[in-house]
Amino acid sequence: MIADDLFDLAPVIPVVVLDDEDAAVPLARALVDGGLPVIEVTLRTPAALAAITRIAAEVPDAVVGAGTVVAPRDAERSAAAGARFLVSPGRTPRLQDAMVATGLPFLPGVATASEVLALLEDGITAMKFFPAEASGGTAFLKSLGGPLPRARFCPTGGVGPGNAAEYLALRNVGCVGGSWLTPADAIRDGDWDRVRALASEAAALRAG
C-alpha cells in the first residue's frame, strides 16, 4: 500500500485519542462495522502504542495507523507496534527520513504552498492538510488545485459533519480526518452503538 491508497479505503479517517487500551478493540470494531476501516490512533496517550498493537492483532478488517508522529522515534515505535500507516501534523527532513525508513505509507502535514512543493520535489503526493480550518479551509485547497494539481490532501483539524462533504467534493481531497467520530464520552461509556452510528453517517459522505 502507498499513501495515496489510503484515500481509496474510506472517505473519513477517525482520529482517535485512547486513554485505555482495553477500549481499542471494541472501538475499532464499531468503526469498521460503521464502514470506516482506516483508523488513526494518536500518540498522545501512554496507551496509544498498545492500542495500535491490539487493533492490528484483533481487528483484521481495520487498517490501523499512528497519528501525531512528531519525532523520528515515534515513527520507529509505531511501526514496531504494528501500525500500517503514519500521520504527522507537519514535516521536517529528519522526520520524513524516519517515516520513509519504516517502509510504511505516511501522510506528512502541510499548511503552505512551499511545504507542498517540498514534498512534491520528493515524489510525495499524498499529504495531510493541517490544521485545515485554521489554515484556510476549502478556499485554500481550491486555490492550490490550480498550480499544484498533483498534490492530494487529507484535511484535518476543524473538520466535522457540517463541512466534511464540502471538503470531499474538492478534486484534490482524497479523504478527511477528524475526531468527531469518537467522542471522549462515548469511549469512556463504552457507547459503541453511538460510534458505529457516527461512522456510518460519515461513511456515506463520499458522493459517487
Q: Which residues are the active-site residues?
A: 40, 128
Among all chains, which residue has been given the C-alpha cell 520524513?
A: 96
Residue in 15, 23, 39, 116 binding ligand 3PG, rule: CB under 6 A:
15
Residues 107-166 that bind ligand 3PG (CB under 6 A): 130, 156-159
Determine, following the binding rule CB under 6 A, whether residue 42 of this chain makes contact with ligand 3PG.
yes
Supply the DSSP string of 62-126, one letter for each residue. -EEEEE---SHHHHHHHHHHT-S-EE-SS--HHHHHHHHHHT--EE-EE-SHHHHHHHHHTT--E
Question: Which residues ranging from 70 to 99 are in contact with ligand 3PG (CB under 6 A)?
Answer: none
Stretch in the footprint of ligand 3PG (CB under 6 A) among 18-26, 77-85, 175-183, 190-198: 175-183
Collapse the DSSP code of 16 into the 3-class scheme (helix H, G, I; strand E, B; otherwise coil) and give the result. strand
> Closest distance between ligand 3PG and the C-beta of residue 98, in Å?
19
Q: Do residues 3 and 105 lie in contact, with contact meaning Cβ atoms separated by under 8 Å?
A: yes
Dihedral, 104, 23, 131, 85 alpha carbons, nearest 10: 10
Cell numbers for 155, please give them: 484535511
Of 42 and 172, nearer to ligand 3PG (C-beta) is 42
Residue 200 binding ligand 3PG, by CB under 6 A: no
The CA distance from 26 to 71, in Å, is: 29
Kindly tell me which of 51 and 159 has the beta carbon lying closer to ligand 3PG: 159
Give the nearer residue to ligand 3PG in terms of CB position, either 130 or 140.
Answer: 130
Give whichever of 158 and 190 is closer to ligand 3PG, judged by the CB atom. Answer: 158
| Sheet of strand 152-155: strand arrangement | 109-110, 126-129, 152-155
Residues forming contacts to ligand 3PG in the complex (CB under 6 A) are 15, 42, 67, 130, 156-159, 177-179
